A and B are shown apart, each in its own frame.
Chain A
């Protein structure tokens, strides 16, 4: 158990509305990540954070923003949701300074209608 929770676990929203997903960790890890999972694409990195207020873009960052004001929380915001952002979103943390192994939360299923 990596001590990661995601909220909400499921959400249905309409096109054009803002949506914020929350990732919370209990173990004070420095690195946190947001991915989206779509059939045939595996997991693709949206944004990641390497400390409070330190974030960087991943390969599919367009239409998404993130914030990290506290070590334990990493927020993903869709400013104006589109149907192409219907996906399962996973948060992950990296536990060690050496190596890249990441541990994943349970995921949030987002549907944009």
Chain B
């Protein structure tokens, strides 16, 4: 069965520092991969997606993610974090039957 692991429940970074959020997936075929962000009390917003082609994908708000098939990973990165990036981030994999499987999420705290 498909699964997604986000190893870090919480991450704290200083404003202006770089960020990397980890995501590992389990899926037998070529995956469709996503990162979503959720601000407190809000719904989920799609940050970026990988379907095929270039393994480095760019998203909104200055985020990027790199697909590494050999490591079954799809880590999210940002070179310089802003206080407004504080939120919860979810990685998801497209599973068979038109469904998504989500990781448990990583809460990002930004300290000034």
Give the distance to chain A from B106, nearest Cβ to Cβ, in Å: 10
B90 in complex: contacting residue of A31, A42, A45, A48, CB < 8 Å: A42
Interface size class of A (residues with CB under 8 A): 20 to 34
Pair count A-B, CB < 8 A = 55
| Majority DSSP secondary structure for residues of B touching A | strand
Contact B97 A56 (CB under 8 A): yes
Identity of the chain A residue whose Cβ is nearest the Cβ of B45 in the assembled complex = A104
Q: Which residues from chain B contact A99 at a C-beta distance below 8 Å?
A: 32, 49, 51, 94
With A and B bound together, what is the CA distance between A16 and B40 in angstroms?
Answer: 30
Q: Which residues from chain B contact A31 at a C-beta distance below 8 Å?
A: 98
A-side residues, CB < 8 A to B, are 31, 33, 40-45, 48, 50, 56, 58, 90, 94, 98-107
